Amino acid sequence: MRLYSTITANNNINKLKRFEDIPTLKQLPIIGHSYLFFPGAKYQLERLTEAVEDISAKLERLTEAVEDISAKLGPIFKLKLGGANIIITTDADYTEALVRHEGKYPIRPTFPALLHYRRLNYGSVGVVPGNGEEWYKYRQGVLPLLKTNLVRSYISKHEKIADNFVRYIDENRNECLILEDIFTHLLKYTIEAISVVSPGHHFQCLSSRNAQDVDDIIAASIDFMDGLYKTFTGLPIWKYYKNEGYRKLETSHQTIHKILENHLKNLSTQTLENLQNANPYMNSLLKNPTYNWNDKLMLTMEVFLGGIDATATTIAVTLHHLAHNKKVQNLARNECTQDDTRLPYLKACVKESLRICPTGGASSRVTITDTNIAGYLIPKHTLVAAFSSVTSNKPEYFDEPDVYRPERWLRDSNCNVHPFASVPFGFGPRMCPGRRIAEQEIVVLLKKILTSYELKPIDGDRQKLGMVYRMNRIPDRKINIKRIKTNRWRQTEIRNGIQDEPNTG
C-alpha cells in the first residue's frame, strides 16, 4: 500500500515534460477519441469510470518492466473528446496537485445549455454552471449551509421526516417484506428533507395522500438531471432548436421555479425574526442585499435541486452494503442504540459507501495557470479531470478495495488514507456546499432505519454494485432490500397496540 506523499510544485518549467508527450491512444482525424464511445465500441460513455480505469491500467502494463519511475505510464493520459483535449489522471497526488492550484475562482466545466437558459431567463447563472466572479457572487449565498450550527438547527425536522420514512417503508414493502427500488422511494425522503431547508416548506412527500406538487417535483427533478446530462454529453443541437434534452431542462426548471416561487413569496411576508428561528438558511438568503428577487429564487432552486439525487443515491448504496454485510450492520446498529450522538462508526459506513460508489466520477477543473501535474507542463486553460472514482477503488490506496470496510475511516485505525484518494464532495472553494446538510440527512435516516429494521439482501443479489452516469452516478440496477423489524421495534409496536407481523427472515 502506498503511503501519503504530497508532490511539490515544480517551479522550474524547463525541467518539465512537454504537453505533447502526455500518453494517449490512437486518435482519428476530426473525431479524435470519440470513436471509443460510439455505440457498439469498446467503451460506454455512461461507464466512463470503467473506461478510464481500463485505459490507465493498459498504459501501466506497457511500462511494467521499465525501472525508471519517471518513464512509467498510467496515471495520466489525454483524450480528445468533443474537439478538446482532456487530461485524465488516476493518481491521488495529481488530484491534489490540481485542486491545490485552482485559486480563488476555480473553473469547473460548465453546463452550456443550463447557462444559456438561465442567462436568457434570469440574466445571471447561479452557482452550479457559473464560473469566475459571477460564480463567486452566488457561492456566497449558499455558504451558510456549511455552518455546523445552522445545519444542526434542522435536525429535529430531519428526525421527524426520517420517522415518517420508516413508517413509509412499512406501508410500501411488498408481502415478502421487500422494499423494491429503494432509490426511487428515497427521492421522496431527500426532497422532503431538503425542502424544509430550501424553500423552508414541508411538501408532505411521504404522505399517502400527497399533493399534485409532489408528483410534479419528483418528475421535474428527474427530468432536470436527465436534461442536464443529455445537453452536456450530446451535440449542442439545442443551440438551433429545442431538442428533447433542452426541453426537459426548460420545463423542469419552469415547474420547480413556479412551485418554489409561491413558497418564497409566503416567506417574504414573515418577520425576519420569525424566519431566523424557523429557517435560518432562508433568512440569510432573503435578507441578503446583494441579490435581487430572481437571484434569490435561483439560489433557492440551486440548493433544492442540488440535494435530491446524490443524497438519495448515497443512502441507497449504504443500505445495500449494510444489507450485504451483517457484521458491519450489527456494529452500526449497536452504536445507534447507545447514547453517543457522534456515531463515528455509522459515519464511517457512509464514507465507505462514498468511497466504493461515489456519485461523482471526477473532480474536473480548467487550469488557471500553467501547472505541473505528473512532471508534465499542463498549460493554462486546459481541462483536467482527476478521476477520484478510480483512485478511491485502487489497491494502492485502499487494501482490498472491493471489501466494504468502514473501519478504514476510524480515527484509531492504522490505515493511512491519502486525503485525496476519496473526495466524494470535491475539495476547496468549489467543494459541495450541501455536504453537511447531506451528511445530517443521511445519518439521521440510517440511524432510524437500523434501530427499526434488520436489512437483508434479496436472494441471488450480488454485493458488487456498478454505477452509471446520469449526470450524477447512480446504481446500475434497482436496489431491493428486505427489511425485518428489530426486536426493539417490535416491542415498541406491541406496547403501542400495533399488530405484529410474522418474522419471515
* Residue 302 touching ligand HEM (CB under 6 A): yes
Strand partners for 373: 376
For ligand HEM, which is the closer residue by CB, 308 or 417?
Answer: 308
Helices then strands (H, E): number in the chain?
Answer: 18, 11
Q: Which is nearer to ligand HEM, 74 or 426 (CB)?
A: 426
Return the residues of window 345-364 that contact ligand HEM according to CB under 6 A.
359-360, 363
Binding residues for ligand HEM restricted to 420-479, rule: CB under 6 A: 424-427, 430-434, 437-438
Q: How far is the CB of 493 from ligand HEM (least distance, A)?
A: 31
Amino acid in position 146: L
Q: Cα(29)–Cα(136) distance, rounded to whole angstroms? A: 39
Q: What minimum distance in Å lies between the beta carbon of 149 and ligand HEM?
A: 16
Q: Smallest distance from the beta carbon of 269 to ligand HEM, in angstroms? A: 24
> Which stretch in 62-70, 306-314, 399-407, 478-486 sits in contact with ligand HEM by CB under 6 A?
306-314
For ligand HEM, the closer CB: 73 or 366? 366
Question: Distance between CA atoms of 61 and 76, rounded to whole angstroms?
Answer: 13
Among 86, 97, 125, 127, binds ligand HEM (CB under 6 A): 127
200 scored as a contact of ligand HEM (CB under 6 A): no
Q: Three-state SS across 127-190?
A: CCCCCHHHHHHHHHHHHHHHCHHHHHCCHHHHHHHHHHHHHHHHHHCCCCCEECCHHHHHHHHH
Compare residues 301 and 374 and give the one whose CB is closer to ligand HEM. Answer: 301
Angle formed at CA 300 by CA 298 and CA 303, multiple of 5 degrees: 105
**Is residue 232 within a helix (H) or strand (E), and if so which, with residue range?**
helix 212-233
Nearer to ligand HEM, 16 or 186 (CB): 186
Contact, 409 vs 352, CB < 8 A? yes
Size of the site for ligand HEM (CB under 6 A): 28
Question: Which grid coordinates are listed for 109?
Answer: 466545466
Q: What angle do CA 111, 116, 118 make, to 5 degrees?
A: 95
**Partners of residue 138 on adjacent β-strands:** none
What residues from 106 to 125 belong to the interface with ligand HEM (CB under 6 A)?
108
Least distance from ligand HEM to the Cβ atom of residue 194, Å: 6
**Least CB distance to ligand HEM at residue 500 (A):** 35
CB of 193 to ligand HEM, least distance (A): 8
Closer residue to ligand HEM in complex, CB, 142/177: 142
Q: 432: annotated binding-site residue?
A: yes
CA distance 322 to 446: 10
Where residue 97 falls (left for φ over 0; alpha for ψ -120 to 50; beta otherwise) is alpha
**Does position 25 bind ligand HEM by CB under 6 A?**
no
Report the distance separating Cα 19 and Cα 379, nearest Å: 8
State how beta strands 376-378 and 371-373 pair: antiparallel
φ, ψ for residue 85, nearest 5 deg: -80, 130
Q: Which residues bind ligand HEM (CB under 6 A)?
A: 108, 127-128, 139, 142, 145, 194, 302-303, 306-307, 310-311, 314, 359-360, 363, 424-427, 430-434, 437-438
Binding-site residues = 432
Which residues are known binding-site members for heme? Answer: 432
